[in-house]
Amino acid sequence: MLLIPWFANPKFIIHNHILKKNFINGQNFTRHDSYGIYQYFRSRFFKRMSQPIKPGRHPKALYVLFLTEMWERFAYYLIAGILLLYLLDGKKGGKGMDERTAADIAGTFFALIWLPLFIGGYIADRYLGYIKSIFIGGTLLAAGYFGLTLPGDTAMYVSLGLIVVGNGFFKPNISTLLGNIYNREDLRPLKNNAYNIFYMGINFGSLVCNFAAAYLRNKYGWGYAFGAAGCGIVIGLITLAANLKKVRVGDVRKEPQKEDMPLSKILAYVFLPGILAAVVGYFLPSKVFHTTIMGSPSSDAFVFACVPVISFFISIWVRARGQDKKGIGALLFIFSVSIIFWAIFYQNFTAYTLWAEKHTDRTISWSVTEKLADNMGVLQKVNTDPREVTRVDSNLVEMKDSHGNALKTIGPDPYYNNVPKDKWPPPGVDQKLSNSELYESIGPFFIVTLTPLLVWLFSWLRKRGKEPTTASKFGIALFLTALSSLVMVFAVLSVASIYQFKVSSVWLWGTYLMITLAEIFLSPMGLSLVSKLAPARLTSLMMGGWFLTMSLGSKVAGLMTSSWNNFPDKRMYFLVWFVAAVIGGVLIFSRVKSLNRIVWEKTGST
């Protein structure tokens, strides 16, 4: 026990402990041999510290947690894939909303679902513990997903609210539980790989959910698809309950520190002001300025509500001291830039869904693939038989009368609005198309297939001392994200006019490939970085901060998609994202040295 304090303060130990005896382990020293004593203890200390720690093996808890999270991701990505389509659909049991309203509601939901994670993480840190919080959150999630099967707008909004609150208790705490388990000394070298494996595993759920959604909504209706999401949550909770012994070791609550803000103050200074700010944001701009700031009252409310939350995280940094302050500051910088990535990533569920629905050639050219997909029930049938449809202009924008009601006309299925007539099937003949939400399984497919390759590549580079640092991976991710938007620019250029011709689905595959590579570089590293840099007592809270970046990014994605029709030249829409991602990458690399140093000081590795 003398060694550590001596090394921190050699003079104190020499004069108060060692020199009183004049010997150490049988080796005699005089009172004038301070330097000899220093060298003796220094050699002993570094000999002990230089002995390599034998890495452990991934515990079974890793697989229990990713199976639990896999089913939650199955549920979430199922609703993410079809929510916008459900809100737009007015023919087969959907809500029949216009594009702007549907995009606003979907974007707000995808934003809100990440917003309460910081408070759910804090409550778990201080009061409930992580496992209990996961079960509370899972129960609310299941209730919300099952509630979406009920008719009526009220049931829909209440159910979406339950999903938002449930996610706040579930999502940050399962990631923190995994990080706690890998804080064991022999498992720390495996933490990055563990998060990659975890991330790959949970994306199996994201991969298959859209096939389930397509089959159920095609054959039985929207309600059955939402019900399947609820069943997925129940299966995940059963999986966790049956394996509690394997994960309890990570359910460790941290002792609060004097500089921490108690829950009562968080509720008083953050939660309550957030609610009041949201109310003010919802009503004030339209009353005072007779218009909205962000395009809709709900968007204004969200932006106003975020101000107290963001201020709270800044106050944590201001109150922190020493290494904690550096770590939290680095995380807040990473969080800020990551919003750009998530804003582009969440185009998957908004703008790219519209692109797949309106502008992508969804016919299946291979007869074997078409037959297999048809047998699976995941094909949509369309034809050119005349029916009442919404009238659109030359840019495929819905036309409305002076009262805001959609104008109707007689015509073929809207899919043929930008298909040349010589490509139409004969009258009365159905044409089979892949469902739009199936394209959202491309990303999870690439995650499942590419993650093992990238993990192997990083391991190979690590052995040679050439693996990119965690901070560098963030920068690389932003440049890959920029490329994903550039692919869509070329997609627009691939035909004479996207309003007269469909675009090959190859372009969606290309953009999903780039954004998924970026996701593999960034998302697991974000989880890992929070686990490394956040003070132990604030890990789940800062994990909530990481998920807050997803909230802000998804809301920005929703806002931009609400303006989709304001960009008749879609090249400009995607170029905006390209420039934003390049700026984000430059910002990361401009600070990569300082970020590497902070991570090294905190963990001993970069």
pLDDT along the chain (606 residues), means of 10: 42 42 40 44 44 64 88 91 88 83 85 79 81 93 95 92 92 82 77 75 83 88 93 94 87 67 73 85 82 80 83 84 84 92 89 91 76 74 90 89 86 92 90 86 86 83 84 92 96 95 94 92 80 76 79 85 88 95 94 86 71
Structurally, the chain folds into a number of domains equal to 3
How far is it, in rounded angstroms, from Cα 2 to Cα 20?
14
| Residue 472 belongs to some domain of the structure | yes
Question: What is the maximum span of the chain, computed from C-alpha positions, in angstroms?
Answer: 106
Please report whether residue 429 resides in a domain: no
Q: Are residues 305 and 329 in the same domain?
A: no
DSSP lists the bridge partners of residue 434 as 379
If asked whether residues 554 and 578 sit together in one domain, one would say yes
Euclidean distance between CA atoms 296 and 300, whole angstroms: 6
Asked if residue 423 is part of any domain, the answer here is: no
Same structural domain for residues 349 and 461? yes
DSSP state of 28: E
∠ CA 488-494-497, nearest 5°, is: 100
Q: Are residues 170 and 208 in the same domain?
A: yes
**Buried b / exposed e along 113-139 (16+ C-beta atoms within 10 A):** bbbbbbbbbbbbbbebbbbebbbbbbb
Q: Which of 352, 344, 261, 354 lies closest to 309, judged by CA?
A: 261
Residue 244 domain-assigned?
yes
Report the alpha-carbon distance of residue 429 to residue 411 in Å, rounded: 15
Same domain (yes/no): 185, 231: yes
Q: What is the number of other CB atoms lying within 10 angstroms of the CB of residue 290?
A: 7
One domain, residues 312 and 337: no
What does the alpha-carbon distance between residue 181 and residue 539 come to, in Å, rounded to a whole number?
A: 13
Q: Which two tokens stand for residue 499?
A: 């309003």
Closest CA to 493 of 395, 569, 567, 420: 569
CA-CA distance, 118 to 138, in Å (whole number)? Answer: 17
- Which pLDDT does position 258 carry in this prediction? 64
Q: In this structure, is residue 363 part of a structural domain?
A: no
pLDDT at 605: 67
User: Does some domain include residue 290?
Assistant: yes
pLDDT at 581: 96
Q: What is the DSSP letter of 499?
A: T
pLDDT for res 8: 43
Q: Give yes or no: residues 497 and 526 share one domain.
A: yes
Query: Does residue 142 sit in the same domain as residue 283?
Result: no
Domain's final residue, options 319, 334, 367:
319
Decide if 100 is inside a domain: yes
Beta strands in 420-481 (DSSP E): 431-434
Positive or negative: CA dihedral 103, 109, 115, 117: negative
Q: Which domain holds residue 8?
A: 3-50
How many H helices and E strands in the chain? 23, 6
Residues 188 and 284 reside in one and the same domain: no
Q: Do β-strands 27-28 and 23-24 pair in parallel, antiparallel, or remain unpaired?
A: antiparallel
Token pair for 403: 């009262």
Q: Are residues 292 and 331 in the same domain?
A: no
Q: What is the pTM of this model?
A: 0.76
Any domain includes 127: yes
Q: Using CA atoms, how far apart are residues 53 and 184, in angstroms rounded to an integer?
A: 11
The predicted pLDDT at position 476 comes to 93
Distance of CA 389 to the CA centre of its chain: 36
State whether 325 and 191 are in the same domain. Answer: yes
Say yes or no: 462 and 515 in one domain: yes
